[in-house]
Structure 1
Amino acid sequence: MEDPDTGAMARGDGVSESPGTYLGVSGEEPSRQPKGAGGFDPARPGPADGAPANAKKGRKRRKRRRGRKVFAPGISSQNPQGAAVVEAVAAPPESPAPIRIPPPPLEPSGRPWERGGPLYGRDGPIFAALDLGTNNCRLLVATPGRPGQFRVVDAYSRIVRLGEGLSATGRLSQAAMDRTVEALKVCADKLRNRSIRRARLVATEACRAAENGVEFLDRVRREARIDLEIIDRQTEARLAVSGCGPLVERDTDAVVLFDIGGGSSEIALIDLSRHRTPRLSNHIVSWTSLPVGVVSLAERYGGRDVTPETFAAMVADVAEMIGAFDGRHRISHLMKGSRFHLLGTSGTVTTLAGVHLGLERYDRRRVDGLWLDNEHVDSMIAKLRGWDFQQRVANPCIGADRADLVLAGCAILEAIRAHWPSPRLRVADRGLREGILSELMAEEGVWRRPQNGGGRP
C-alpha cells in the first residue's frame, strides 16, 4: 500500500518517496545520488574515499581544530541565529559522530554569501526538512533548482502514530514513542550520509500537546541523536502555506488553504487581490489552528464503523470550532467570484484524489495539483462513507494504516467546505516540509541574481 500523504509505498520499515517532477519542485530517483555527496562521510574516521594520501591533511585539520568549542551531541535544528544546521560533536566511542555543518559565510553587509551567482545544480548545496507530526514522520532532502524550485534527492516517510491515545490520556504512549524513535534513527542516518548545508527538524501537535512531550524529545536527542524543534501553530500554518505557493495561479484573488493533520488542522485565509509578492505566506490575512485532526477525531468518535449519525456528529463538532474562529470572514468579499478556491494539503484530500482517479497505485505526479469540482468531492466522500472498514483497507490509496482515519478527515473537510463554499478544490501533495526547504533556500540567497552578472564559480 502507499502513504497518501507522500505517494510512497507504505511498508512497515518506512520508504523513500516516489520521484517525479511537479510544480515548483522536481524529484529524482534517490538511489542515483551517492551517499555522502559533497564531501566527508561521517561513518569513517578519515576522508570519504579513505585515500591514505589525504591522511596528512586530516592530521593538519585536527590540529587546527584543537581548542575549539565542542557542541552538545546530536543533529540540531537550531543555531544562535535561529537557523537550522546539523552540528557535529564529540560523540561517545560507541556512537557515530554526526556531521557539523557550519553556518554559511557572510558578506560584509551580513547577507549570505552568493559565491558569484545562484547556488543550484547537481553539485549544489543540500538542504533537509523533517516533520514529525501526530501521525507521520517525514523527511525531505533536496538541492536548489531553478529560481523558486528544488530537486528532491532523498525522502522518507513512515506512519508512526505518535499521537495514538494522546487525546484520552494527555501523554505519548510507550509504544508510540518506540515506533517514532526507530523512524527518527533512519532519518538521522540519512542526514549523516550527506553533506547537509542547512536543515530544519520540527515537531508539531503531538509534542506540543503531550505532558511528556519534552521528555520524549530528550529521549530522541539521546537515542536518535536528533534535536527536534517544537514549532507553534502559527509557524506550522505559515510553513504549510509557503510549501503550496506554486499551486496558486497568478489570476487568483483569494484562497482558503487547509492542512488536516493528525492532531490539529491549520487553516489560512489568503488575500491575493492586491499586489502579489513571491512568498505566498506574506498574504495571510487570518489563520487558525483547530485542536482536532484525523487521529484525535477518530479516537473520540470511532473510525472503523462510522454510522451516518456519527459522521454528522463529527462534522458538527468541527463546525463549532470553526464558528469560534473570529477571522473566518476576512475574505468573504472575494469568495463570490471565480478567482477564489480551496487548497487542501493532507492525506485526506490526496486520498480523495486517488479514489477519484481510480488509481491502482498511488501516484503523486497525478495527484499533486489536481483540481476537484464539488461534484467530485461529494461523490468521493459518499463512496467512502458507503464502504465498510475492510473495503477501505482494500483500496490502494487508503490501506490499513489510514482506513480508520479517512472518514474523520472527510468530516473535517466537510466542515471546512460548509464555512467557505467554493466550486473547486485543488489538491496539494506537499506542505510543511516543502515550506521549510523553500524558506531555507531563500534565506541562503540561492536564487538571488549575482551582482556582477556572473554564474557559479
Structure 2
Amino acid sequence: MTSRVAAIDCGTNSIRLLVADLPDPAAGPQAPLTDLSRRMEIVRLGQGVDRTGRLAPEAIERTRVALASFAADIDRLGAGRVRMCATSASRDAQNAAEFREMVQRTLGVAPEVVTGDEEARLSFTGAVRGLPADARPPYLVVDIGGGSTEFVVGTREGGVEAAISMDIGCVRMTERHLHGDPPGPDEVAAAQADIAAAVDRALEAVPGRSAATLVGLAGSVTTVVAIAQGLTAYEPERIHHARVSYDRVAEVTADLLAKSREQRLAIPVMHPGRADVIGAGALVLRVIMERSGLGTVVASEHDILDGIAWSLA
C-alpha cells in the first residue's frame, strides 16, 4: 500500500512542491519515493528581510500566486496529507502572522515555521536516503538556502548526530555584501570573511571536520555542479550524486563573481531567479570545502523537500 502526500518547502528565495507516493513500509528503508509532481518557483520571500525585519508585501503576493498554483496541483493529484514548512525568512520577520494567514487562506493548511534544528534534520533525511554505497559515513550535509545554511553530521543508520543553522544564505550574503555588478574585490572579501567566521563556528559545533563525505543540497550547489560539468541544459539526473572537486568549485565561484548579472543569465543552466544570488551561494560552498578540508562535494537533488514528504509516512 502506498500513501500520496504533498510537501512544500518555502524558503527565503524559492518555494517548492513535491507530490509523491510513499512506498509500502514492507518495501524496506531504502525504497524510494515515487514523484508525481516536483516544482519550483523563485518568489524571493526574504526580499529585504535582513535590512527591514519584515516580509515585503510584493514578496508575500508572489508567494501567494505560487501557492495557489501548487494547491491546484495538490487537488488534481489527490494528495491525502499536506505539510508546508516555512524556513528562515518567516522565522525572522516581524509580520510573520500576516504570512501565515495568507497561507491558511490559499492552501488550506497552516505553515509550520520550523526551527533551524528541525530544518537541518529534514534536509539530512531527504539527502542520505539513496546515497551511493561508496559515499562513506559520517556525512556532512550542507543545505545552502537563501537566508541560512544548515550543517548536519550523521550516518544513515544512526541518523543525525548534530545539527546547526547559520545565517549565511545566498540572498542574505548578497544583500549584505555583494552590491556591485559584478561585485568588487572588497565586497567579495567582506562576504568571504563573514561566511568563514560562521562556517568555522558551525564546523566546531556539529563537528563537521570529522566527516568523510560532504553532501551539498539546494539550488546554489546544484547550479554550481551543473556549470562545473559543462551542461548545456539543467539535467537533474546528471547532477544528482555527481562529485565535483574543490578546485573546480573554486574556478566556478571565481568566474561567477567576476561576471555581471547579464553574463550570469547567459549561462545555459542558470535559473533567471538565481542569477543575482548565485555568486554568494557558490562562495558559501567554496568556503565550506576550504574550512572543512573535504576536497569533493557530492550534489543531491533530494533535500528538505523530500525530508518533509518522508515525515508524513
Shared fold, TM over 0.5: yes
Query: 1:248/1:236 Cα in 2 relative to 1: closer, same or farther (>3 Å)?
Result: farther
Give the conservation status (yes or no) of the 8 Å contact 2:71–2:106: no
Deviations 1:81-139 (A, max 9, x none): xxxxxxxxxxxxxxxxxxxxxxxxxxxxxxxxxxxxxx2xxxx4311111111111111
Aligned partner letter, 1:416 = I
Among candidates 275, 298, 302, match of residue 426 of structure 1: 298
Counting only pairs closer than 5 Å after superposition, residues 336-375 of structure 1 correspond to structure 2 as: 340-375=212-247
Give, in whole Å, the separation in 2 of the partners of 1:382 and 1:293: 18
1:262 equivalent in alignment to 2:146? yes
Equivalent residue, structure 2, for 1:283: 159
Moved more, 130-139 or 222-231: 222-231
User: 1:27-426 counterparts in 2 under 5 A?
Assistant: 119=1, 124-145=2-23, 147=28, 148-245=31-128, 246-247=130-131, 249=133, 252-270=136-154, 272=155, 277=157, 282-302=158-178, 304-325=181-202, 327-328=204-205, 330=207, 332=209, 334=210, 340-426=212-298
After superposition, the Cα gap between the structure-2 partners of 1:400 and 1:437, relative to the gap in structure 1 and judged at 3 Å, is closer
Give, in whole Å, the separation in 2 of the partners of 1:320 and 1:431: 25
Tell me, in whole angstroms, the C-alpha distance in 1 between the residues paired with 2:288 and 2:247: 16
**Cα distance between partner residues in 1 of 2:203 and 2:103:** 37
TM-score normalised according to structure 1 size = 0.63
Cα distance in 1, alignment partners of residues 163 and 244 from structure 2: 24
SS at match of 2:45: coil
CA–CA distance in 2 between the matches of 1:216 and 1:349?
28
Letter in 1 for 2:143: D
Distance in 2, matches of 1:401 and 1:325, equals 28
Q: C-alpha root-mean-square deviation of aligned residues, in Å? A: 2.0
Q: Following TM superposition, by how much is the alpha carbon of 1:329 offset from its aligned partner in structure 2, in angstroms? A: 6.7
- Structure 2 CA distance for partners of 1:248 and 1:227, relative to 1, 3 Å: same
Q: Flag as ranges the 4+ runs of structure 1 deviating above 6 A.
A: none
Query: Radius of gyration: which is bigger?
Result: 1
State the alpha-carbon separation in 2 of the partners of residues 269 and 227 from structure 1: 30
Unpaired segments of 5 or more residues in structure 2? none
CA distance in 2, matches of 1:430, 1:392: 25
Give the aligned partner of residue 49 of structure 1. none
SS in 1 for 2:41: strand
What SS does the aligned partner of 2:36 have? strand
Letter in 1 for 2:93: A
Change (3 A) 1:173 1:330: closer
> What TM-score do the two structures reach when normalised by structure 2?
0.91
Q: Alignment partner of 2:162: what SS?
A: strand
Distance across 1 between alignment mates of 2:261 and 2:135: 42
Partner of 1:61: none
- In structure 2, how many angstroms separate the alpha carbons of the residues matched to 1:149 and 1:326? 30
CA contact (8 A) 1:314 1:412 kept: no
**Whole-angstrom distance in 2 between the partners of 1:194 and 1:362:** 26
Helix, strand or coil for the counterpart of 2:85?
Answer: strand
Equivalenced residue count is 306
Contact 1:243–1:430, Cα closer than 8 Å, also in 2: yes
User: CA shift at 1:203, angstroms?
Assistant: 0.8
> Could you tell me how far 1:381 is from its partner in structure 2?
1.7
State the distance in 2 between where 1:190 and 1:322 align.
38
Tell me whether 359-368 or 410-419 shows the greater mean CA deviation. Answer: 410-419
